[in-house]
Structure 1
Amino acid sequence: MKQLLILSGKGGTGKTTVAGAFIKLADARAYADCDVDAPNLHLIRAHSLPAKRSDYYGMRKAIIDAESCRSCGLCRQNCRFEAINKSNGQYEVDAYACEGCGVCEAVCPMGAVSLQPAVAGELMLYKDDMVFSTARLKMGSGTSGKLVTEVKKQLRQEAMDADLAVIDGSPGIGCPVIASLNGADMVLIVAEPSLSGISDMERIITMAEKFKMKTGVCVNKYDTNEELALKIEAFCRERALPFLGKIPFDTAAIKAVNKGQSIIDVDCPSGRAATKVFYKTLLIMNS
Structure 2
Amino acid sequence: MKQLLILSGKGGTGKTTIASAFIKLAQAKAYADCDVDAPNLHLVMHPFPQEKASDYHGLDKAVINAEACTNCGICLDACRFHAIEKHETSHTVDPIACEGCTLCAYLCPQQAITMEKAKAGELKLFSNGDEHFSTATLLMGSGTTGMLVTKVKEQLKQVSDATEFAIIDGSPGIGCPVIASLTGVDLALIVAEPSVSGISDMKRIIETSAKLGVTIAVCVNKSDTNDELSSRIETFCWKEGIFFAGRIPFDPMAVRAVNEGKSVIEYSCDSGTAVRQVYDKTLQMLKETIRR
Note the residue ranges of structure 2 that are not aligned, 5 or more in a row.
none
The SS at the match of 1:24 is helix
Match of residue 277 from structure 2: 276
Cα RMSD after superposing both structures: 1.0
Q: 1:270 to 1:88 in 2, by over 3 A?
A: farther
Secondary structure of 1:152's partner? helix
In the alignment, what sits opposite 1:249? 250
Partner of 1:264: 265
1:89 Cα deviation from its structure 2 partner: 3.9
**Partner Cα distance (2:126, 2:111) in 1:** 43
1:94 is aligned to 94
Distance in 2 between the 1:89 and 1:116 partners? 22
Q: Which residue identity is paired with 2:119? A: V
Equivalent residue number for residue 163 of structure 2: 162
Q: Which residue matches 1:4?
A: 4
- The residue aligned with 1:26 is 26
Residue 261 of structure 1 aligns to a residue in which SS?
Answer: coil
What is the distance in 1 between the residues matched to 2:80 and 2:86? 16
1:51 and 1:172 map into 2 onto residues whose CA distance is: 29
Q: Would the alpha carbon gap of residues 48 and 82 (structure 1) be closer, same or farther in structure 2, given more than 3 Å must change? A: closer
- Name the residue aligned to 1:142: 143
The equivalent residue for 1:108 is 108
SS of equivalent to 2:101: coil
Q: Distance in 2 between matches of 1:207 and 1:186?
A: 13
Specify the code of the residue in structure 2 equivalent to 1:17.
T
Deviations 1:107-158 (A, max 9, x none): 2121111111111100000011310000001111111000000000000001
2:67 paired with 1:67: yes
Structure 1 residue 87: deviation in Å? 3.5
Q: How far apart are the structure 1 equivalents of 2:74 and 2:140?
A: 29
Q: Deviations over 1:27-60 (max 9, x none)?
A: 0000000000000000000123142000000011
Cα distance in structure 2, aligned partners of 1:250 and 1:95: 45
- Superposed CA deviations along residues 88-119 of structure 1, whole A, max 9, x for unmatched, are 54311011111111111112121111111111
One-letter code of the match for 2:76? R
C-alpha contact 1:59 1:100 (8 A) present in aligned 2: yes
In terms of mean alpha carbon deviation, does 45-54 or 128-137 score higher? 45-54
Contact 2:54–2:123 (CA under 8 A) maintained in structure 1: yes
For 1:117, the aligned partner's letter is K
Question: What TM-score do you get using the length of structure 1 for normalisation?
Answer: 0.98
**Structure-2 residue corresponding to 1:85:** 85
Find the aligned partners of 2:119 and 2:63 in 1 and give their Cα distance.
Answer: 14
Conservation of the 8 A alpha-carbon contact between 1:4 and 1:167: yes
Check if 1:13 corresponds to 2:13: yes
Structure 1 spans left out of the alignment, 5+ residues: none
Q: 1:87 is aligned with what amino acid? A: H
* Alignment pair present for 1:235 and 2:229: no
1:124 equivalent in structure 2: 124
For residues 20 and 48 of structure 2, what CA distance do their matches in structure 1 show? 17
- For each residue in 1:164-208, what CA deviation from the matched residue of structure 2 results, as whole angstroms up to 9, or x when unmatched? 200000001111111111121100000000000000000111111
**Preserved contact between residue 17 and residue 262 of structure 1 (Cα < 8 Å):** yes
Identity of aligned residues (%): 57
Whether 1:202 and 2:203 are equivalent positions in the alignment is: yes
Alignment partner of 1:267: what SS?
coil
Residues 177-188 of structure 1 mapped to structure 2, 5 A cutoff: 177-188=178-189
* Corresponding residue of 1:41: 41
**Are the aligned partners of 1:244 and 1:281 in contact in 2 as well (CA < 8 Å)?**
yes
Amino acid at match of 1:227: E
* Cα distance in 2 between the residues matched to 1:236 and 1:247: 16
CA contact (8 A) 1:47 1:128 kept: no
8 Å CA contact 1:16–1:168 kept in 2: the answer is: yes
2: distance between equivalents of 1:134 and 1:119?
16
Structure 1 SS opposite 2:174 = coil
Q: Distance in 2 between matches of 1:160 and 1:225?
A: 41
CA contact (8 A) 2:50 2:128 kept: no
Q: Which amino acid aligns with 2:141?
A: G
Partner of 1:56: 56
Q: Which amino acid aligns with 1:249?
A: F
Task: State the partner residue of 2:287.
Answer: 286
